[in-house]
Amino acid sequence: MEQKKQKALLVGANVNFEKNFQQLMDELENLANACNIEVVGREVQNLFEINKPLYIGKGKAEEISKIADTLGVDLVIFNNELSPTQLRNLQDIINCTVLDRTSLILEIFSTRARTKEAKLQVEVARLEYMLPRLVGMRANLGRQGGGAGLSNKGSGEKKLELDRRRIESKLSELKKELEELSKDREIKKKKREESDIPLVSLVGYTNAGKSSLMNYMIDKFVKDEDKRVIEKDMLFATLETSVRKIELDDNRKFLLSDTVGFISELPHDLIKAFRSTLEEIKNADLLLEVIDYSDPNFYEHIQNTKDTLEKLGASNIPIIYVYNKSELMLDKLPLIDQDEIYLSIKEKRGMNELINMIIERLFKNYKRCKMLIPFSEGSILSYLMDNSNVLSTEYTEKGTLIDIECRESQYNKYKEYIV
């Protein structure tokens, strides 16, 4: 049987008439839909400053309680992250479960996580969010089920203390596991750096088309169905970083990585938990920021992505702005303006031009030269054949003469063989 949808009332406090407030409320509804929650109403209060005990005014909170009863909702979801005190106070006034934007995003992440690392990262973020809010969430914790041996330990402060210890112990275990996985990633990262293959990272808002672009490149250059990534029209379909080697027709190569999508006010605990994954963006030689050009809020999305990249220390990396879904807004495609390209991944319009832009930026510092590699240095010849653009090969008495285009680092490393 299909599970019955929960009904929700959305609540937003517009502090000092924030210009993108409506966008944030629309996003909150999309987040609720992504959790299979039916939104049946919205309530907004304009404020010059937040009410510290309740975030909104007490009269408004009481009014929301009555509206929630009238509409028969299961949840009241606030667009703002609520402090532990605010959550507890609101829970006392409103006679149904109170959630905030952060808990909703955490719920989506928990259902989308597939790899062991992503599941651990989400669980760490969820527990760190839950820990200071135990008092307000105690009823929910009870419904989720306590750990073994907790059922007969009493109630009140003793129960809270036991819950707190249990969560802190679990957090410690999870963080140790994540550290081990992080070491594995560092080993893989070191191998990538040793291969000297440039890295291109896809970044941008969730559901803008990053995974679609990744799959287009896989279909064109890798031709392996098993290498494709999950591609769905939903928020946060991708939580895992996927890296694929793209081999161009002229033997030049680069690595392409797909990352978790961004969103307005991505919760601090999630950024912290996913930081090791997101920080791989810092190692990129080039960023492709995929933007949904058909979304009326795309300017704000670009700014949110910029803010997140700055937090990660990745704001100085060269970037190409890929305006996807442009077929919904423009007749003539592609359009190219310096570091911007307007295209359609779905209709494959502008994709060759994008590939040329990537090549132009990634390989602009390549040097062309001839090297004579002695027969005794077969491993060096094999490396250059695999990791540079070999234009011609000639076998001589003294060794193999190759005409190549290579990265400056390769040129300097093997310059003793240049002829």
Q: What is the pLDDT of residues 298-344, one digit of tens each?
A: 998 999 899 888 888 888 999 999 999 999 999 999 999 999 999 99
Q: Where are the beta strands (DSSP E) in 277-343?
A: 286-292, 319-324, 335-337, 340-342
Q: Greater confidence, 291 or 23?
A: 291
What is the spatial distance between Cα 128 and Cα 277, in angstroms, rounded to a whole number?
Answer: 18
Beta strands 75-78 and 97-100, pairing class: parallel
Listed ranges 1-10, 104-113, 345-354; the one with the highest mean pLDDT: 345-354
At 232 the pLDDT is: 67
Residues 6+ apart with CB under 8 A from 359: 248, 252
How far, in Å, are 98, 139, 159, 164 from residue 156 at the CA level? 21, 12, 5, 12
pTM of the full structure: 0.77
At 218 the pLDDT is: 94
Q: What percentage of the chain exceeds 70 in pLDDT?
A: 90
Cis amide prior to 334 (ω within 30 degrees): yes
Q: How confident is the model at residue 148 (pLDDT cuts 50, 70, 90)?
A: very low
Q: Greater confidence, 378 or 146?
A: 378
At 408 the pLDDT is: 86
Tell me: pLDDT of 395 over 90: yes
Q: Average per-residue pLDDT in the chain?
A: 86
Distance of CA 354 to the CA centre of its chain: 22
At 157 the pLDDT is: 64
Residues 6+ apart with CB under 8 A from 32: 8, 10, 38, 39, 77, 104
Residues 6+ apart with CB under 8 A from 181: 116, 117, 120
Q: Where are the beta strands (DSSP E) in 222-360?
A: 242-247, 253-258, 286-292, 319-324, 335-337, 340-342
Neighbours of 183 (CB within 10 A): 9
End-to-end Cα, the chain, rounded Å:
74
pLDDT in tens, 252-287: 889 999 877 888 777 777 777 777 667 778 889 999
* Phi/psi at 401 (5° precision): -95, 120
Radius of gyration for the chain, computed over Cα atoms and rounded to the nearest angstrom? 26
114-118, 190-194, 359-363, range with the lowest pLDDT: 190-194
Tell me: pLDDT of 113 over 70: yes
38-47, 65-74, 203-212, 221-230, range with the lowest pLDDT: 221-230
Please choose, from the candidates 148, 201, 154, 182, the residue with its C-alpha nearest in 3D space to the C-alpha of residue 322. Answer: 201
Tell me: pLDDT of 106 over 70: yes
Neighbours of 406 (CB within 10 A): 24
At 79 the pLDDT is: 94
Q: Greater confidence, 1 or 367?
A: 367
Q: Supply 46's token pair.
A: 């304009």
What is the spatial distance between Cα 229 and Cα 31, in angstroms, rounded to a whole number?
Answer: 22
Tell me: pLDDT of 185 over 90: no
Q: How confident is the model at residue 171 (pLDDT cuts 50, 70, 90)?
A: very high
- 3-state SS class at 37: strand
- 3-state SS class at 275: helix
Q: How confident is the model at residue 121 (pLDDT cuts 50, 70, 90)?
A: confident
* Phi/psi at 118 (5° precision): -60, -40
At 284 the pLDDT is: 92
At 147 the pLDDT is: 37
Q: How confident is the model at residue 215 (pLDDT cuts 50, 70, 90)?
A: very high
Residues 6+ apart with CB under 8 A from 176: none
